Amino acid sequence: MTKVNQSRDSGTTQRSLTKQRLVETARELFYQNGYEATGIKQILAKAGVNSGSLYYFFPTKEDLLLAVLERYKELLWPMVLDPVFDRTGDPIEQVFGVLEGYRKMLLATYCRQGCPIGNLALEMSEKSDAVRKAVAENFEGWRVAIRQCLMDAGDRLPADVDRDRLATLILTTMEGGVMQARAHRNLEPYEASVAMLRDYVDRLLLHKSGGVSECAG
Amino acid sequence: MTKVNQSRDSGTTQRSLTKQRLVETARELFYQNGYEATGIKQILAKAGVNSGSLYYFFPTKEDLLLAVLERYKELLWPMVLDPVFDRTGDPIEQVFGVLEGYRKMLLATYCRQGCPIGNLALEMSEKSDAVRKAVAENFEGWRVAIRQCLMDAGDRLPADVDRDRLATLILTTMEGGVMQARAHRNLEPYEASVAMLRDYVDRLLLHKSGGVSECAG
């Protein structure tokens, strides 16, 4: 490798690191303060990057937000699912393990922070169609993973229970529960929502394993 | 009544109308655009009120938001509950009638607008404790009305089903479903969430009316 190439590679690596740092910093600040309330200056100061570099990678603040939402899609498995799925192979426990992860996040932040995607969904859905779609893609990635768990549960769930719609209710439970926990600054609404969802799923499992079906037979 | 008193009364009425107009206009604009994205100038122009009058009633923008949230509390019965409760006396149908009202709101706005309180919950929970509490009070008013329906359902629901927590899951379903419908600009996530909640409640009613309880007996 020539000296010129080495230097070019090192420049590329440097640029890539700067870009990563911008996305990570923006991700953190948007999560903590919301998108509108976060200033470009704040991002630059925290990332230690000058405005020229920022505009080189992200001509607008919205471009930066879209990169953040792309990053969240990449993080779904390593951050949200793998830590749970590595612990248990039972698909129903995987679903409730993922929901437990959000409870821990609420607990660790005194119910100040829940799901970053939910925040952006309500803040940005009407303001940018590109952002709205990227939010929807994040929801869809999560929902599809949960639906796979429900499909993996096979005949433990009654055949006539719609796995796709049940996966939607599970995402709904997480987002609606997080929202109320944050408003009340109290875990109870989240825990209550998940407990009732668990009761529903338990009744579905019981139904299948004999409770009702044998009775009805 | 003297002329002085008449004039004083008329001034009081005028002031009261101006205050109402400010709150109504702010309510509408915060709902459409979010709180941060709505400017004071925009509110004044739309309400046709000068800034002196605004600051007389509401020294800060947050004071105006708190008045809006107070107004939403007043509107719970006339706007959300009465139209449904006047139509049916069946407490379970009342619950699903309220949820149907939000579906109609999503439908009428092409899934652009859902629950105004949910928006403010996520936008403002970390920014002002007074606003967070007012949002929580709105949630609580809604939840308590729905819990009363569940209590009115009496022994149609199994005795061991926690009415308080089930009411929380119902609010959770509405908020989480609205959020996803807005992000996808599609009714399906809302309809799916409510349909699965209905399946859960139907199973609870069935359980009570004979399905499982007679079998287990």
Contacts 24+ apart (CB under 8 A), A16-25: A18/A49, A18/A53, A18/A57, A19/A57, A21/A47, A21/A48, A21/A49, A22/A47, A22/A49, A22/A53, A22/A54, A22/A57, A22/A58, A22/A64, A22/A67, A23/A64, A23/A67, A23/A68, A23/A71, A24/A71
**Residue B1 pLDDT class (50, 70, 90 cuts):** low
pLDDT 10s digits, A23-76: 999 999 999 888 988 999 999 999 999 999 999 999 999 999 999 999 999 999
The reply to whether residue A182 touches residue B121, judged by beta carbons under 8 angstroms, is: yes
Contacts of A180 in chain B (CB under 8 A): 121, 139, 168, 171-172, 175
Tell me the residues of chain B between 100 and 129 that have a Cβ less than 8 Å away from chain A.
Answer: 112, 118-119, 121-123, 125-127
Question: How far apart are the CA of B177 and the nearest CA of chain A, in angstroms?
Answer: 6
The pLDDT > 90 percentage for chain A reads: 75
Q: How far apart are alpha carbons A93 and A99 in whole angstroms?
A: 10
Whether A93 has a pLDDT exceeding 50, the answer reads yes
Give the structural domain span for B27: 14-59
Here the tokens at position A70 are 């792309």
For A215, the closest chain B residue by CA position comes to: B215
**Interface probe, candidates A38, A113, A139, A179, chain B, greatest B C-beta count within 10 A:** A179
Nearest CA-CA distance, residue B51 and chain A, Å = 24
pLDDT at B6: 64
| Residues B129 and B153 both lie in one domain | yes
Model confidence at A8, pLDDT cuts 50, 70, 90, reads: low
B167 lies in the same domain as B107: yes
Per-residue confidence (pLDDT) for residue B147, from 0 to 100:
98
pLDDT at B13 over 60: yes
Residues of chain B in contact with residue A198, where contact means CB-CB under 8 angstroms, are none
Q: Which residues of chain B lie closer than 8 angstroms to A200, CB-CB?
A: 196, 200, 203
- Polymer length in residues for chain B: 217
Whether residues A40 and A89 fall in one domain: no
Banded model confidence at residue A216, pLDDT cuts 50, 70, 90 = very low
Whether A3 is covered by a domain: the verdict is no
Flag if B196 and A125 touch (Cβ within 8 Å).
no
| CB-based contact B166 A196, cutoff 8 Å | yes
- Check pLDDT > 70 for residue A1: no
Residue of A172, A180, A185 lying closest to B180 (CB–CB): A172
pTM to 2 decimal places? 0.91
Query: Are residues B92 and B45 located together in one domain of the fold?
Result: no
Q: A98 and A48, same structural domain?
A: no
Confidence of residue B217 (pLDDT cuts 50, 70, 90): very low
Q: Is 90 exceeded by the pLDDT of residue A6?
A: no
Q: Report DSSP state, residue A154.
A: G
**CATH value at residue A24:** 1.10.10.60
CATH number at residue B84: 1.10.357.10
Is the model more confident about B189 or about B209? B189
Tell whether the model's pLDDT for residue A210 goes beyond 60: no
Residue by residue, DSSP assigns B8-24 as HHHHHHHHHHHHHHHHH
Whole-number pLDDT of residue A90? 98
Judge residue A114's burial from the number of C-beta atoms within 10 Å of its C-beta, 0-12 exposed, 13-18 middle, 19 or more buried. buried
Number of domains in chain B: 2
Q: Report the pLDDT value the prediction gives residue A3, as an integer from 0 to 100.
A: 59
Q: Pick A123's closest partner by Cβ from B34, B192, B214.
A: B34
Asked whether residue A32 is assigned to any structural domain, the reply reads yes
Measured between alpha carbons, how far is B37 from B114 in angstroms, rounded to an integer? 18
> Is residue A133 in a domain?
yes
What is residue B215's predicted lDDT score, i.e. its pLDDT?
A: 43
A189 touches chain B (CB under 8 A): yes
Contacts of residue A135 in chain B, CB cutoff 8 Å? 183
Judgement on whether residues A85 and A134 belong to the same structural domain of the protein: yes
For residues B174 and A176, the answer to whether their CB atoms sit within 8 Å is yes
In a domain, B125, yes or no: yes
Q: Are residues A101 and A199 both part of a single domain?
A: yes
Question: Does a structural domain hold residue A202?
Answer: yes
Calculate how close chain A gets to B108, using CA atoms only, in Å: 15
Interface test with A, best of B32, B62, B122 (most A CBs within 10 A): B122
- Average pLDDT for A112-138: 89
Chain A residues 35-94 with CB within 8 Å of chain B:
36-37
Q: Which residues of B touch A112 (CB under 8 A)?
A: 125-126
Does B45 share its domain with B80? no
Query: What's the pLDDT tens digit per position in B108-137?
Result: 988 888 888 998 888 887 789 999 999 999
Instruction: Say whether both B83 and B190 belong to one domain.
Output: yes
One domain, residues B120 and B146: yes
In a domain, B118, yes or no: yes
B173 touches chain A (CB under 8 A): yes
Structure tokens belonging to residue A132: 């709205």
Structure confidence by residue, pLDDT tens digits, B40-64: 999 999 999 999 999 999 999 999 9
Establish if B67 belongs to a structural domain: no
Residue A100 has pLDDT above 90, yes or no: yes
Least confident of A153-162, B26-35, B92-101: B26-35
> Has residue A214 got a pLDDT over 50?
no
Whether A2 is in a domain gets the answer no
Residue B126's pLDDT is 78
ipTM of the complex, rounded to two decimals:
0.91
| A86 and A172 belong to one structural domain | yes
Q: What is the mean pLDDT of chain A?
A: 91
> Within this chain, do residues A185 and A138 fall inside the same structural domain, yes or no?
yes
| A154 part of contact set with chain B, CB < 8 Å | no
Q: What pLDDT digit, counting tens, does each position of B136-184 carry?
A: 999 999 999 999 999 999 999 999 999 999 999 999 999 999 999 999 9
Report the gap between the CA of B167 and the closest CA in chain A (Å): 9
Q: Is the pLDDT of residue A209 over 80?
A: no
CB-CB under 8 Å, B203 with A169: no
Q: CB–CB of A121 and B183 under 8 A?
A: yes
Nearest by CB to A36, which of B36, B162, B174?
A: B36
